[in-house]
Structures are given as structure tokens and as C-alpha cells.
């Protein structure tokens, strides 16, 4: 595993994190894991969210939790799967709400890269996982790193929309200046909680309405069929 290179404006924003003790410990843990286990997403995709959405382009931060842990699913964007992978249940529910909220067609894939390219930082709080072992890289240092990311986005001078689905994401409210930024929150889209407040929450029209009010371009939420 190579030392992280994000290779755009995030490099300067986050460079001090890479030199901190916690990150060195995290990096050493990942090196050890790599010796005896498969890790998802692949090394080149761990920082994909940052590569696709440079710091100055972030208008929305969508927060997920743990990468998908089955073969070939995760590619570094929260909730998104690779083009040839069946959308998992939470993503199916996201598409249902998208259709109900703004009437878009449900796509034949769960590859959300077009959202990231439009200024949505699609951040998981933990950026790696051991194959077939959910939450296996929890409490190893990633949360410290991604809290730093949230704090850096919070420091932006123009308003950003933070999208927090579920109790775990909503714990990050303490990092967000709600006078400066907009928070869109509801239950999580997972099958366990979607009926308790995610369905009907209309997050996509809310985000576009807020972007419009800031004079920012709205998101084209339609995922193209592949």
C-alpha cells in the first residue's frame, strides 16, 4: 500500500492529517490487513470521492458509514456500486425516494459517479473494510480523518449542504456550523429504517432548492442507464 496521494486541492487541505500519529497507525494497520485479507475498495479507489470532487467544487456533502464489503461493490463513493453490480437495498430505497420526490426514472445501475462530478462529496466515515466483514475497520482512525474532512468542508466560506441520513451520520452535526450551512437530515434509507422517516423526506428537491437559493447549479440527479 502506497502512502496516500489525493492529487488535487484536497492534498493541501488534508496534508497535515497524513503526518499525524493516528494516521500513521491507521496506515500501518492497513498494511498489516493487506498481508492476510482482501480489503475493499481497492487501494486505487480508497480516496475516489476526493479525486472526483475537489475541495473547491464541494457544494453538497453526503455522508455514508462503512464501504460495501462484498466482492467488486465498493469503489470509494458512499452508497454507490460499480456499474455491473446490482444496487443494494439502501440504494434501491434512495432511487425509490428519488422517483417519488422528483419523478426521475429508476436507473438500471447504482453507479453514482455523475453525482460526485457535480459537486457532491460522497464521503463514508470509514473508508475501508475487510472483505465480508462489515465494520471491521471501525475505530482504527478513519473516523478521525473523516471528521477532519467534515470540519474542513465546514470552514468553506460559501454555504454547503450537509446530508445526514440516520443517527450515526447525525452525530456529526456537532462539526457543522448550522448558521452558515444547510443540513438535510432524515432516517437512513436502509430497509430497517426507510419507512420511519426516509421515505417522503424529499431530500433531492430540498438540496436543489437550497442550491438555487445560493445561486449554485442544481444537481441533475438522473443516473444514466448503462
Q: What is the pLDDT of residues 175-201, one digit of tens each?
A: 999 999 999 999 999 999 999 999 999
Predicted confidence at residue 6, as pLDDT, reads 79
Percent of the chain predicted with pLDDT > 90: 96
Q: What is the mean pLDDT of the chain?
A: 96
| 66 noted as active-site residue | yes
Helical axes 203-213 vs 89-102, angle rounded to 10°: 60
Residue 164 φ then ψ, to 5°:
-120, 105
Nearest to 124 by CA among 10, 41, 202, 43: 41
22-46 core/surface letters (b: 16 or more CB in 10 A; e: else): ebeebbeebeebeeeeebbbeeebb
CATH of 9-213, one of 3.90.930.12, 3.40.470.10, 3.30.420.40, 3.40.640.10: 3.40.470.10
Residue 89: band (very low, low, confident or very high) from pLDDT cuts 50, 70, 90 = very high
Predicted confidence at residue 8, as pLDDT, reads 85
- Domain regions of the chain by residue span: 9-213
At 208-220, the pLDDT tens digits run 999 999 999 999 9
Non-local CB neighbours of 3 within 8 Å, separated by 6+ positions:
18, 27
At 131-173, the pLDDT tens digits run 999 999 999 999 999 999 999 999 999 999 999 999 999 999 9
19, 45, 66, 225: the catalytic one is 66
DSSP 60: E
Mean pLDDT of 58-63: 98
Check whether 74 has a pLDDT greater than 90: yes
Query: What is the CA 83 to chain-centroid distance, rounded?
Result: 17
Predicted confidence at residue 7, as pLDDT, reads 67
Amino acid at each position: 500500500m502506497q502512502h496516500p496521494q489525493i492529487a488535487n486541492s484536497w492534498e493541501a487541505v488534508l496534508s497535515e492529517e497524513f503526518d499525524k500519529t493516528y494516521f500513521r497507525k491507521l496506515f500501518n494497520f492497513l498494511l498489516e490487513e493487506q498481508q492476510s485479507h482482501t480489503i475493499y475498495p481497492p487501494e486505487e479507489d480508497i480516496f475516489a470521492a476526493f479525486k472526483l470532487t475537489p475541495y473547491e467544487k464541494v457544494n453538497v456533502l453526503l455522508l455514508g458509514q462503512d464501504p460495501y464489503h462484498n466482492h467488486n461493490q465498493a469503489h470509494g463513493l458512499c452508497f454507490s456500486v460499480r456499474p455491473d453490480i446490482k444496487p443494494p437495498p439502501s440504494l434501491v430505497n434512495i432511487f425509490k425516494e428519488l422517483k417519488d420526490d422528483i419523478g426521475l426514472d429508476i436507473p438500471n445501475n447504482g453507479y453514482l459517479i455523475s453525482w460526485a462530478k457535480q459537486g457532491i462529496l460522497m464521503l463514508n466515515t470509514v473508508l475501508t473494510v475487510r472483505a465480508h466483514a462489515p465494520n471491521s475497520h471501525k475505530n482504527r482512525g478513519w473516523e478521525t480523518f473523516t471528521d477532519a474532512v467534515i470540519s474542513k468542508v465546514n470552514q468553506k466560506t460559501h454555504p454547503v449542504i450537509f446530508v445526514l441520513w440516520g443517527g450515526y451520520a447525525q452525530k456529526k452535526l456537532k462539526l457543522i456550523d448550522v448558521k452558515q450551512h444547510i443540513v438535510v437530515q432524515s432516517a437512513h434509507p436502509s430497509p430497517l429504517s426507510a419507512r420511519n422517516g426516509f421515505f417522503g423526506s424529499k431530500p433531492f428537491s430540498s438540496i436543489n432548492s437550497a442550491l438555487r437559493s445560493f445561486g449554485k447549479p442544481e444537481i441533475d440527479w438522473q443516473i444514466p442507464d448503462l
